[in-house]
């Protein structure tokens, strides 16, 4: 193999291991053999770019870390100045606060009274799919199957959840799993796997599941990035979920930065959603997860709600116990083609599961 020995020569050249005789030999070959010279130039170009790209990748990573640190430090800084202000003006603030409380109490009482006079119009529904209902209507349609006594393999409720890292942690909505007896997750890549409820937060309606199943082959990498920044009105978003047996895509925009009845922890999104979509990730055009779908307003068309990603991060960053913390991926750009939507969905749907809940 002549080529190998050529490359060997080049390698030793850039590592300064050539003897003076070999150097002159090399120079003579450059002069006589233009093909050889071209191959050498290409080699130098290649190695140079290899080195530079490595340096850039390292720098990029460093910048990403600094950015993440900066984002984390900001709120802490605000807090410090807040406590300082608190110390300085505590007496004034106490008076102001008590006045506020009295006024507020009066206001709330009045409001309650007015509210009790009129019937509640808009109603918020959780988007879990109630299998019993569907079964019932199915029984009417398929009368021949009525006598079948086979136990329903679909579970009592189904919803959606998504993998947050390669250790098998899955995020979903708490309302979906609150009465769980056992949980199964299913998608095309991983099949059906058993999962357990690890922790939950009632206020934010979040639950963390952990896949513990020998059939679960942990992926090398999960390209899921939960955004640190709040999204703005008009941002195009989409979600993937399991309102039926197969994964369903729906697309829309962020239509308000507050959720149901002015809830600041959620977005309102105009997105066609159905029971079963609960727990699905809300993803923007850049492929970042900006929220988790948790409900919709049944009296208004196209107004669904999603908890903001910052609350997802807070929930995930809280350690499970003193020994276990969850690694959340921080990458500069999601590792899939964002320009090609079908390809992006194909990549992402590997990490989105149908959550089957048995009560």
Partner 1 sequence: MVWNKKDSISQVDSELVEGLKNSQSNSIKIIYNTCYPVIKSLVLRNSGTEYEAKDIFQDSLILLFEKLQQPEFRLRCSIKTFIYAVSKRLWLKRWNEQKVKIYDTQFETEPQDMENLIQSHENHDLALSKMMHAIGELGEPCATILKDFYLRDLTMNDIAAKFGYTNSENAKTQKYKCLQRLKKLFFYGEQENHAEL
How far is the C-alpha of 218 from the C-alpha of 351, rounded, in Å? Answer: 11
213 binds partner 1, rule: CB under 8 A: no
Q: How many residues bind partner 1 (CB under 8 A)?
A: 44
44 binds partner 1, rule: CB under 8 A: no
**Binding pattern for the stretch 220-239 against partner 1, x by CB under 8 A and - elsewhere:** -x-x---x-x--x--x----
Which residue's CB is nearer to partner 1, number 183 or number 240?
240
Element (H, E) at 320: none
Q: What angle do CA 326, 328, 331 make, to 5 degrees?
A: 160
Stretch that binds partner 1, among 64-72, 104-112, 243-251, 259-267 (CB under 8 A): 64-72
Closest CA to 276 of 178, 189, 181, 157: 157
Residue 40's alpha-carbon distances to 3, 8, 15, in angstroms, are 11, 11, 14
User: Which of 2, 3, 188, 342 contacts partner 1 by CB under 8 A?
Assistant: 3
How far is the C-alpha of 357 from the C-alpha of 359, rounded, in Å? Answer: 6
**Phi, psi (degrees; rounded to nearest 5) at 233:** -60, 135
**3-class DSSP state for residue 194?**
strand
User: Which of 66, 103, 106, 111 contacts partner 1 by CB under 8 A?
Assistant: 66
For the chain, the straight-line distance linking the first and the last C-alpha, in angstroms and rounded, comes to: 68
Closest CA to 26 of 13, 44, 41, 42: 13
Whether the Cβ atoms of residue 328 and residue 154 lie closer than 8 Å to each other: no
Shortest spacing between CB 66 and partner 1, in angstroms: 5
Q: What angle do CA 33, 36, 37 make, to 5 degrees?
A: 90
User: Which of 23, 44, 57, 104 contacts partner 1 by CB under 8 A?
Assistant: 57
335 binds partner 1, rule: CB under 8 A: yes
323 binds partner 1, rule: CB under 8 A: no
Sign of the Cα pseudo-torsion (110, 112, 115, 121, in order): positive
15 binds partner 1, rule: CB under 8 A: yes
Stretch that binds partner 1, among 106-114, 123-131, 141-149, 336-344 (CB under 8 A): 336-344
User: Which of 58, 79, 300, 314 contacts partner 1 by CB under 8 A?
Assistant: 58
Shortest spacing between CB 276 and partner 1, in angstroms: 25
Which residue's CB is nearer to partner 1, number 166 or number 199?
166
User: Which of 44, 47, 86, 102 contacts partner 1 by CB under 8 A?
Assistant: 47
User: Which of 44, 85, 217, 343 contacts partner 1 by CB under 8 A?
Assistant: 343
User: Which of 24, 33, 44, 46 contacts partner 1 by CB under 8 A?
Assistant: 46
Stretch that binds partner 1, among 118-126, 219-227, 245-253, 264-272 (CB under 8 A): 219-227
270 binds partner 1, rule: CB under 8 A: no
Q: What angle do CA 285, 346, 278 make, to 5 degrees?
A: 70
How far is the C-alpha of 218 from the C-alpha of 195, rounded, in Å? Answer: 14
- The first and second tokens of residue 122, run together, are 């808009």
How far is the C-alpha of 357 from the C-alpha of 278, rounded, in Å? Answer: 13
**3-class DSSP state for residue 264?**
coil
Question: What is the gyration radius of the CA atoms in the chain, in angstroms?
Answer: 29
Concatenated DSSP letters for 107-169? HHHHHHHHHHHS-----EEE--EEHHHHHHHHHHH-GGGTT--PPPTT-SEEEEEEE-STT-E
8 binds partner 1, rule: CB under 8 A: yes
Which residue's CB is nearer to partner 1, number 65 or number 327?
65
17 binds partner 1, rule: CB under 8 A: no
67 binds partner 1, rule: CB under 8 A: yes
Shortest spacing between CB 357 and partner 1, in angstroms: 28
Alpha helices of 126-221 — where are they, by DSSP H? Answer: 131-141, 174-177
Shortest spacing between CB 52 and partner 1, in angstroms: 6
Binding residues for partner 1 (CB under 8 A): 3-4, 7-8, 11, 15, 42-43, 46-47, 49-60, 62-64, 66-67, 70, 219, 221, 223, 227, 229, 232, 235, 286, 288, 332, 335-337, 343, 347, 350
């Amino acid at each position: 193999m002549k080529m190998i020995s050529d490359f060997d020569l080049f390698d030793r050249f850039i590592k300064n291991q050539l003897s003076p005789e070999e150097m002159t030999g090399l120079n003579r070959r450059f002069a006589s053999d233009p093909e050889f010279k071209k191959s050498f130039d290409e080699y130098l170009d290649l190695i140079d770019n290899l080195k530079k790209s490595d340096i850039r990748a390292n720098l990029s990573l460093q910048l990403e870390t600094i950015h993440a640190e900066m984002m984390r430090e900001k709120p802490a800084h605000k807090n410090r100045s807040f406590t300082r202000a608190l110390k300085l003006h505590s007496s004034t603030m106490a008076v102001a606060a008590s006045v506020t409380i009295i006024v507020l109490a009066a206001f709330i009482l009045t409001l309650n009274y007015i509210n009790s006079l009129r019937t509640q119009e808009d109603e918020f529904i959780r988007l879990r799919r109630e299998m019993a209902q569907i079964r019932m209507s199915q029984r009417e349609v398929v009368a021949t199957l009525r006598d079948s006594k086979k136990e329903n393999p679909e579970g009592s409720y189904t919803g959606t959840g998504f993998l947050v890292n390669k250790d098998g942690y899955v995020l979903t909505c708490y309302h979906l799993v609150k009465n769980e007896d056992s949980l199964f997750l299913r998608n095309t890549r991983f099949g059906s796997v058993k999962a357990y409820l690890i922790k939950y937060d009632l206020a934010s309606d979040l639950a963390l599941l952990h896949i513990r199943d020998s059939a679960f082959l942990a992926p090398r990498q999960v390209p899921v990035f939960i955004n640190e920044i709040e999204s703005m009105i008009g941002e195009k978003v989409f979600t993937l979920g399991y309102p039926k047996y197969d994964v369903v895509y729906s697309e829309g925009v962020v239509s308000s930065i507050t959720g149901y009845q002015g809830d600041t922890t959620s977005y309102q999104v105009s997105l066609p959603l159905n029971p079963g979509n609960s727990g699905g990730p809300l993803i923007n055009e850049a492929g970042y997860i900006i929220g988790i779908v948790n409900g919709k307003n049944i009296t208004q068309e196209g107004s669904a709600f999603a908890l903001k990603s910052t609350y997802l991060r807070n929930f995930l960053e809280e350690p499970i116990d003193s020994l276990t913390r969850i690694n959340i991926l921080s990458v500069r750009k999601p590792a899939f083609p964002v320009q090609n939507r079908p390809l992006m969905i194909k990549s992402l749907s590997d990490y989105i599961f149908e959550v089957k809940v048995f009560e």
